[in-house]
Structure formats: C-alpha cells, structure tokens
Amino acid sequence: MKDLKVCVATSRQWKGMEAAAELWSKIKKTVPDPKFILLFATIDYKDEFKDIVSHLTLEFKNTQLVGGTVAGFINQDGCYTRGVTALAVDYPNMDVVVGIGHNTKRSPEKAGSECAKQIKEGLKSSKWKNKFLFTFIAGTEIPKMPGMGGGVIKSGAMTKLVKGGMRVSQFLMQKSVGREEDVLDQITRELPDYGMIHGSTIDNVKMGKNYQFCGTEILTNTVVCLGIRTDLNFDSDFGNGAKSNTKFDITEISKNNQIVSRINGQPAPSEFARLLKKPEDLLFDGKYYLKRFPYFPCGMFQGDRLLLRAFVFVMSDSILSMSKMHKGDVFTVSITGKNMIESVKETLSSMGKKPEFGFASECAIRLMTLGSDIEKVRDNMKAFFKDRPFLVIYVAGEGVKKPNHEYFYMNESFAVTLFRR
Amino acid sequence: MGRNEEIRAVLEDLLKMEDVQACLLTGRQTGTITPGRGTKLKNLVLWKLIMDSSHKLFPVIEDFYVYGLKRLYFELGDYEIIMSFLDQFTALLVVIPSLVNRGLVEVEIENSKRTIKEIIGRQK
C-alpha cells in the first residue's frame, strides 16, 4: 500500500542500549520516520526499560511511543516469552496523539477522564474521519500479605484481614485488581466514536509488578493511550473457543462486581465446586490453585457474545474474579487447547480479507496453558497475514470496541484489530 | 566461536530467565554442555547427579522416540525437570521450581532448542 509503512521488530539482546539499537536499525529500514511506535517488553528487562525508551525516542524524535510489559509476544519472527518488540507505523493520512491517566487503581475514573481529554484535545483539529485507540492499562498486582500465597485462603479470620488489607493496599500502595473496566468506562464514555483495542500490562504472570511506557517515561498504575485519526479502516473482534455448560446465578457480589460471595444462594466456593462436579478440596488446593485456575473460568453474555472470567483468588466465603462479573445468568465453561488455537483462526477468517497489518491482545493465561504449542497460534496468524506484519501481545486482560458500540472486556480470550485501506 | 561455545551462549541466555534454575544439553554426540555460570541450584550434589545421570535415559528414550516422544517431565521435590528432545540422541534439560508457570518457560525452551539445532546442523 502506497505510503503506509509498517514494521514489527524484535530484539533478544539483554542490554537495553543494544536492544534499542537493534530495534532502531530494523525499524529505520522500513519506516524511517514512524508516526508511532508501540513498544512491549517482558519483565526480564525491567532494569533496561529506561535505556530502551531513551534510545528509541532519541533516534525517533517525531514519534509517539506507548506500550508496556507483557508476558510474551508473537510476530513474524517467532514466539517469545523473553524479549522486546516494537510495532512502528508511518502513514501520511494519519494524526496521532498520546494520553496518560495516573493512579488507575486508586482513582480509575479520573485516570480515564484525564487520558480521554488529552486524546480529544490532541486530535480535535484532525481532518481524518476514522478514530481509533490503543489503550494499555496497569493490570492486577497481588500485594504480598501474609496468607495470600497460593491463591487460596481457608480461614475466615484471614479472609476478613485480607479483604480489609486489599482495600488499604489498593488505596495506599495501588497493589490490587487492575480496575481496567472502570478506566475504560470513562474513556469510552468520553470518546464513544472511537474504535479500540486494549491490553492490560502484566509481568511473567506472577502478578508482582507491571509497567507502562509513554515517551521516555516508565510508569506504574497508569493508563497510556495512543489516539489515531486516519483514513485507514479498521475492524476489531474477539474469540475464545469456549463452550458454555451449566447455567448459574450470582446472587451476592461486592460493590466492585469482582468478589462473588454467593452463587445460587449458596456460599460461592462450595457451590462453584459443586457446579463443576469437582471435590472442593481438590479444586481449591492451595498448592496447585494458581496453576489450575485458568482451567475453570466462567462465562457470561454481553448481548450474544460470551465473555470469560477467571477466578484468580479463593477466600473462605467468596471468590475473586480477575474482572467484573454481571449479576444474573453466568455459565461454567469448557475450553480445550485445540479450541483456543482454532478460535484464533475462526476469529480472523470471520473478519474477511487479508489486512495491511494487524495487532492483537491475547490473554497470558492462554500462553501459560498452551506453552510451546503457542507456535500453532502463530501458524494461524501467518496463514492469515501471509507476509504482512502482525503483533500479538500476551496480557492480563483484553478488550475491543467498534465505534459507537459498547466495548467488550475479557479474560482468556483473543482480541484483534485489522487495519485496511 | 566453536560449536560448544555457541551452545553454551544459548544455555547462558536460558539460565538468565528468572524461573530457570539450571539447564544443560546432553547427548551421545555432543556430550554434556553446561552454561558457563553453572547453575542457580543451591544443591550442588543434585546438580552433579543430574549432569552425571541424564544420559543414562537415552536407551529408553530411543525406544519411545519413534512413537513421537517430545518431552519428559519429572517432579523432583521442589523442582521440575523438563527434558526436551532435539532428536533421539540429544536433549535439552531444564530445571525449574515446581509450581511456576511452566508454559512461559516452555516457549523459551523451544526457542533455545531450535537455535541449538541450527548450531549443530551448521557444524555437520
């Protein structure tokens, strides 16, 4: 396509300066002066982030840069859970601007609003009609508190302590669930006519600390956003490969819609175990829970689309979802590894012809589950994109939105945006 | 850089990953190749045992390899050993703590394995 220049580059160099130099040399060959760069790194590079962004922004002075930490990534070069990758784009018929909102865990609505205002203001004089957002928000960080290891707390006293502690930790240290949906609610309310793809930043799925990048800044607990106005067309969709099984009702839930206390009028942990037809002790075995929880998500419908939620933490009387639950019909779901891989193929093929380039956010849980079989996801991407550039990042939560539609926020899913002329 | 040095560099990269406690390449043709830094394992007796005994599995591995054996997993106390085969005579062995996110490590084991295969292929 004339004048559209896209490059997805990878570096596996350990030193920040060397990684940045490698990315720069690869990018400049195809995209000498990018309008924007999306930059992602695994947490192995946390001491090198500063060098990487400083060097890249020094070399690409007119370029907007946003991104963050991911559990891994896939592109034309390969599948990696250690490395740095960048998507660089230049196109004349496109205006770009970045927005940042701070303290996403303490004041998510304010952070979202801050960010949306910068995007709106920055692009108000653009003449291009199609509007799009890439959003990256700090994902869940689990505070280190006594009794919180393993993801299961059986003692009622400890549950009370941890619930109270989490509220304190959320406010004081901003170590808690990500609150991405509270941020996105605000952004999409203020920018309804924008399409969007979202990824929640994450480390190596230990949920210790994650970072966001914006220009030369290395940030925590922020939303960073790249707003675009262009004449390029885009299309977003998602898939998960899940099949809904037994229907159940969430009958008691916390104000933030994430701590489920009662299911079908019964204490949530025991009722959930009964619905899955598994012994409670086995299902919520503290030794294995953090390894096993991805295998029994639940699903709920938003319109006719099934959205998945994973219960990341079990307390004596309640279970904590990674993202918001809706009161009402919910389903136990099942997904096989094969269906996860197939869902990528199905999602892409339902979106029509080959695009100029693509960007996808996929849940890190799927990467954890598939392991080296993630290569089969790459095979599906390559079969669809052929020689065109694409980048898949592995994140803590993913979302998509079409302009003037409500957004979808998911776990354990594959979300993608394709860009076409 | 010679073949063994190139392989050692790949193993060094793998060992730098937070969850990788030890790794080595073991094989009939290659012998045992370890990273220059040795191991992060505190129990050096265990490390020596792993180094000295892993090749003894090959007679069994060769029998199963024709049926598509790709990997062997051992749970060993607080550790898990992953043996990933380049062919029926050569394996990349990686020690990780039990209960870590094995899927993430496996992606990089696969990358290391491919690079080592290339190195060995070039030298043939």
pLDDT tens per residue, range A38-80? 999 999 999 999 999 999 999 999 999 999 999 999 999 999 9
Q: Does the distance separating the beta carbons of B19 and A44 come in below 8 Å?
A: no
pLDDT band per the 50, 70, 90 thresholds, residue A164? low
Choosing among 3.30.450.30, 1.10.3720.10, 2.60.40.10, 3.10.129.10, the CATH entry for B3-123 is 3.30.450.30
Residue A327: band (very low, low, confident or very high) from pLDDT cuts 50, 70, 90: low
Q: Under DSSP, is residue B29 helix (H, G, I), strand (E, B) or coil?
A: coil
- And the tokens for A119? 């995007």
Mutate to test the interface with B, among A82, A206, A374 (most CBs of B within 10 A): A82
In the predicted model, is pLDDT for residue A340 greater than 90? yes
The interface predicted TM-score of the complex, written ipTM, equals 0.92
Measured between beta carbons, which residues in chain B are less than 8 angstroms from residue A206? 101
Name the pairing type of β-strands A298-302 and A328-334. Answer: antiparallel
Q: What is the mean pLDDT of residues A138-163?
A: 70
A121's torsion region: left (phi>0), alpha (psi -120 to 50) or beta? alpha
Residue with tokens 């896939």: A74
Give the chain B residue whose CA is nearest to the CA of A70: B104
Burial of A279 (0-12, 13-18, 19+ CB in 10 A): exposed
Model pLDDT for residues A255-281, shown as the tens digit of each residue: 888 889 999 999 999 999 999 999 988
From residue B93, give the alpha-carbon distance in Å to each of A103, A135, B43, B86, B101.
43, 39, 17, 11, 17
Q: B107 to chain A: which residues are within 8 Å by CB?
A: 72, 79-81, 367, 371-372, 374
Chain-chain contact of B104 with A81 (C-beta, under 8 angstroms): yes
A12, A22, A31, A221 from A26: Cα distances, Å: 13, 6, 9, 31
Q: Residue A222 — pLDDT band, cuts 50, 70, 90? A: very high
Region B26-54: mean pLDDT is: 91
Look at the pTM and tell me if it is higher than 0.90. Answer: yes
> Which sign, positive or negative, has the C-alpha torsion B41, B45, B47, B50?
negative
% of chain A at pLDDT higher than 90 = 76
Res. A207 pLDDT band, cuts 50 70 90: confident
For the segment A101-123, what is each residue's pLDDT rounded down to a tens digit?
Answer: 999 998 999 999 999 999 999 99
List CB contacts (< 8 A) between A368 and chain B: 101-104
Which comes out higher in pLDDT, residue B77 or A178? Answer: B77
Residues A388 and A377: their CA atoms lie apart, in Å, by 16
Ordered DSSP codes for A206-263:
S-S---EEETTEEESSEEEEEEEEES-EEEEEEE---EEEEEEEEEEE-TTS-EEEEE
What pLDDT, on the 0 to 100 scale, is given for residue A141? 84
Instruction: Answer yes or no: do A80 and B107 touch at CB < 8 A.
Output: yes
Q: Provide the pLDDT for residue A398.
A: 97
Closest CA to A200 of A217, A225, A218: A225
Return the residue in A43, A81, A203, A290 with the most chain B beta carbons within 10 A, the one to mutate for interface testing: A81
**Predicted confidence (pLDDT) at residue B22 exceeds the cutoff of 90:** yes
Q: In what order do the strands lie in the sheet with A398-401?
A: A94-102, A222-230, A130-138, A195-201, A398-401, A408-410
Choose the most confident range, by mean pLDDT, from A291-305, A324-338, A384-398, B37-51. Answer: A384-398
Nearest to A120 by CA among A174, A60, A193: A193
Instruction: Tell me which residue in B13, B99, B108 faces A81 most closely, judged by beta carbons.
Output: B108
Phi, psi of B60 (to 5 degrees): -75, -45
* Nearest Cα residue in chain A from B110: A372
Nearest to A367 among B13, B18, B103 (CB): B103
**Taking residues B59-67, what's their average pLDDT?**
91
Report the residue of chain A nearest B16, measured CA to CA. Answer: A44
Contact with chain A for residue B62, Cβ under 8 A: no
pLDDT in tens, B31-43: 899 998 889 999 9
Averaged pLDDT of chain A: 92
Domain boundaries, chain B: 3-123
Percent of chain B whose pLDDT exceeds 90: 76
Contact criterion met (CB < 8 Å) for A372 and B109: yes
Question: Distance (Å) from the C-alpha of residue A289 to the closest C-alpha of chain B?
Answer: 9
Q: How far is B103 from chain A (nearest CA, A)?
A: 4
Q: Quick one: pLDDT at residue B38?
A: 86
Long-range contacts of A353-356 (CB under 8 A, 24+ apart): A353/A420, A354/A384, A354/A385, A354/A386, A354/A388, A355/A235, A355/A385, A355/A388, A355/A418, A355/A419, A355/A420, A356/A1, A356/A4, A356/A6, A356/A232, A356/A388, A356/A419, A356/A420, A356/A421
Residues of A within 8 A of B23 (CB-CB) are none
Contact B116, B7 (CB under 8 A): yes
Confidence of residue A146 (pLDDT cuts 50, 70, 90): low
Distance CA A49, CA A41 (A): 8
* pLDDT at A378 > cutoff 90: yes
Helix%, strand%, coil% for chain B, nearest 5: 45, 25, 30
> Is the minimum CB–CB distance between B29 and chain A shorter than 8 Å?
no
In angstroms, what separates the C-alpha of B18 from chain A's closest C-alpha? 8
What is the DSSP-derived secondary structure letter of residue B2? -
How many separate helices (H) and strands (E) can be counted in chain B?
A: 4, 5
